[in-house]
Each structure stands twice: as structure tokens, then as C-alpha cells.
Chain A
């Protein structure tokens, strides 16, 4: 209870700061805070695998990639024309509408199952067996996807000397 009360505001504050701050580097740091808060929430929900994968993938890799992209594109300088688009009010209204629908759905639904369960918690070993058993084909497909996207990223971002752009 106490942990959730600490982590939830931290995560929301990180997300809010990522959306609202003017400096892009500060946004990247704030979104890293939100990712870390989410990882801790996953750990609190007994999802060790998801929590540590979150730390490795998001806090470790994606945040660093974003900071690299910011520095490579000099977008940390705040533009004179402002960081928010001209139609920001429409965006806020749409987001508020989506939140209203989601909150209505969540609060309107019954609690699905009682908390008392006889079954044991999910162990990481079970996830490993499932990934190597029933979900082995999707695992192979995402492996191919990752390889293809890595090659594609290198080709897209590669600096071409002269020649056709």
C-alpha cells in the first residue's frame, strides 16, 4: 500500500514532466524516471521478469537511445516558436475524452476474481518454459524482427557520402 502510494505519484509525475517540460533532455530524463517507476511497480506486482526486462530494455537501452538521438539532432535547444503545437487544446480534449472512457470502463467493471488464490505465484522458470514451449514460434519471429529492424536502423541512419540521398 505504502509502496504503491510512493511509486504511483512518482511514475505519473515522471510522465507528466516528460509531456510538459520544455527542454527535450529534461523530457528524456523524466521519461526514464517514469520507466523506472513502472519497473518497480512490476516488481511489486510479483512480475520479476517483466520488471527486470523493463529496467534493461527501457531504463537501460531506450532512454540512452533517446538521449543519443536528442544530442545528434540538436533538439535540446528550445525553438523560438514554442514546444507545443497550435492545436494543443484539441489534443487535451481528445486525451481527456479517452481518459474518461477508460476510467468509466475500469470503475464500472466488477472485480473479476477474489484476491485469495490457491495457485502459486508465477516464477521466472515458468515463463522460460512457456517461451520455449508453446510460444517458441512467436519468439523466433520477434528474433527475426529484431535482427531486421537493427539492420534497417543502421541502413536508414547511415551517413551517405555524396551520391543520391
Chain B
């Protein structure tokens, strides 16, 4: 039997990898993938606790997170394509129209 904390540490590792990708990458699509990685890391925590307590709620929450992530993926990638069409770049330091 694997201790609960191992799964939680793996979840934290994935979340932090997502943070690293979100903060250090320049490409908008890679940043988007990092967000998905963070969402997945949190899902692993939910599933771990659902397994530990034998509750349905955890998996239902995972389901809702996945649905919202799918909606976010559709709209986010559409926005990325629209930005590329308008600016011809996806480097976040060059998409600074709203920067003061």
C-alpha cells in the first residue's frame, strides 16, 4: 500500500512544474499547456482523497474540473489563434498591448 502523502507529493510536483512552465516560458501555447498540467496535478489530489475516504464527491469534482478545463481549452486556443492572426507572434513579451 502506497502512503497517501506520496500521491500528494506527486500532485504538488506536477502543480509546481506547471507553475515553472507558466512563469518561464515565452510561448503562449506552452503556457497554456502548463495551466493544463496544474489542473491535472490538482485532479490527482482529488482522486487520491476520494480513494482514501471512499467518497463519490472527489471524482465528481474531478469531472467538473475536467469539463471546465475542456471549455477553457476550446476558448483559450481560439483566443490564441485570434491573437496570432492579429499580431503574428505568440511570444508573451511581445503581446503587450495593454501594458502601461
Using a CB–CB distance below 8 Å, which chain A residues touch chain B? 1, 4, 8, 11-12, 15-16, 18-19, 24, 27-28, 31, 34-35, 38, 41-42, 45-47, 49-50, 53-54, 57-58, 61-62, 65-66, 68-70, 72-73, 75, 79, 81-88, 90-92, 94-96, 98-99, 102-103, 106-107, 109, 111-113, 115, 117, 119-122, 126-127, 130-131, 135, 138, 142, 145-146, 148-150, 152-154, 156-157, 159, 165
Contacts and interface: CB of A to CB of B under 8 A. Distances in A.
13 contacts: A8-B6, A24-B30, A47-B47, A53-B62, A57-B66, A66-B77, A69-B29, A79-B91, A102-B16, A106-B12, A121-B54, A146-B70, A157-B77
Interface of B: 1-10, 12-30, 32-34, 36-37, 40, 43-44, 47-48, 50-60, 62-64, 66-75, 77-82, 84-86, 90-93
Q: Is the interface of B mostly helix, strand, loop or mixed?
A: helix
B78 A157 contact: yes
